[in-house]
Amino acid sequence: MSAVTVERETRATDLPPLRKKRRPFGLYVMGAFTIGMILYLASPVFLMILYGFNNIQGERQVPKFTCCTLNWWKNILAVPALNESLKTSIEVAVPAALIATALGTLIGLVLGRYAFRGRGWINFVIFLAIAVPEIVLGSALLSMFVKANDIGANITIGYTTILFSHIGFSIAFVAVTVRARVSGLDRSLENAAQDLFATPLQAFFRVTLPLILPGIVAGFLLAFVLSLDDFVITNFVQGQTNTFPTWVYGATRLGVPPQVNVWGTVLFSAGILAAAANLIVGSRSSRRAARGVAVATVARERTS
């Protein structure tokens, strides 16, 4: 090959292409569709935040928006019944989420790690607990509590029945979340810890638990939110006790006070902060696990 031919080929490869490669038109369509769906789904939340600043005369919310006032934020505690119902919701959601997280984590660990007879049936029951309509579950729970009282259980229809019901339907969601996290774990990490003379308990708390901690936190947050905003099941088993959703539903007959929008904004902001905290915990756990893998690998190479 002559020097002239090589020079021509080099110049040809250095030249820019005649036409720039364009992005497929479908990418722009999917991007616009995604943004539109996000705005559509988030629009009720934006309206709720906006109407927390609605300048109206009176104590009931009206459709017309007049900008703007901080009066409802200053008088956020002006509706005692609303405050009491929100307090009840939190008093139910916190212990329900804690108990459901503890039980659901154990179930998720077993289902995600071990193969045993009856595992498929347990997965089916968990799926059934998630898929069954809430109106069916609520009526079934109410029938169970009434039947238990008929045989002398003496269960008061109110806070206790709400708590038991919320624990019952939250366990399945926590178990599914933790099971998904456990299924993606590398078992060699625990084996490496045991090769370094760690007991099974030490390997669990030093290796397994940090890795599944984001799933546990996500399960707790999911159980807490599901308990906090549940209406259908609570409406069956509440008795004379009102939670935040059931009180708001009852208030719609006369008119919802603007403080509902304020409290909704506060709860939404708390949820955003909790989700951000979960991301931070997850990233730190991943970095810690990566450091543990590096240390275990170096230690195994030195001992081999």
* Residue-wise pLDDT tens digits, 118-172: 888 988 989 888 988 999 999 999 999 999 888 877 888 889 999 999 999 999 9
Domain residue ranges of the chain, discontinuous segments joined by +: 79-303
Residue 3: how many other CB atoms lie within 10 Å: 7
Q: What is the pLDDT of residue 114?
A: 82
Ramachandran sector of residue 58 (left: φ over 0; alpha: ψ -120 to 50; beta: rest) = left
Q: How far apart are CA 86 and CA 109, in angstroms?
A: 33
Between residues 108 and 152, which one has the greater pLDDT?
A: 108
Q: Which residue is listed with tokens 């045993």?
A: 116
What is the distance between the alpha carbons of residues 250 and 256, in angstroms, rounded to a whole number? 9
Q: What is the mean pLDDT of residues 256-283?
A: 84
Run of H or E including 13:
helix 3-14
Examine residue 67 and say whether the peptide bond preceding it is cis (omega within 30 degrees of 0): no
Question: Which residue in this structure is represented by tokens 């729970």?
Answer: 141
pTM: 0.79
Residues in CB range of 292: below 8 A, 6 or more apart: 189, 193, 206, 207, 210
Domain 79-303, second-level architecture: Orthogonal Bundle (1.10)
3-state SS, 187-241, equals: HHHHHHHHHCCCCHHHHHHHHHHHHHHHHHHHHHHHHHHHHHHCCHHHHHHCCCC
Mean pLDDT of the chain: 83
Question: CA torsion 75→80→81→85, rounded to 10°?
Answer: 80
How confident is residue 246, by pLDDT bands cut at 50, 70 and 90?
A: very high
In terms of pLDDT, which residue wins out, 284 or 294?
284
Top-confidence range, 132-141, 252-261, 294-303: 132-141
- Please write the tens of the pLDDT for every residue from 182-212: 887 777 777 777 767 777 777 778 778 888 8
Q: Does the pLDDT at position 13 exceed 70?
A: no
Q: What is the pLDDT of residue 66?
A: 81
Q: What distance in Å separates the CA atoms of residue 137 and residue 233, rounded to the nearest whole number?
A: 7
230 confidence band (pLDDT: 50, 70, 90): very high
Q: How many residues does the chain have?
A: 304
Q: What is the average per-residue pLDDT within 254-266?
A: 87
Per residue in 70-84, pLDDT tens?
888 988 888 899 999
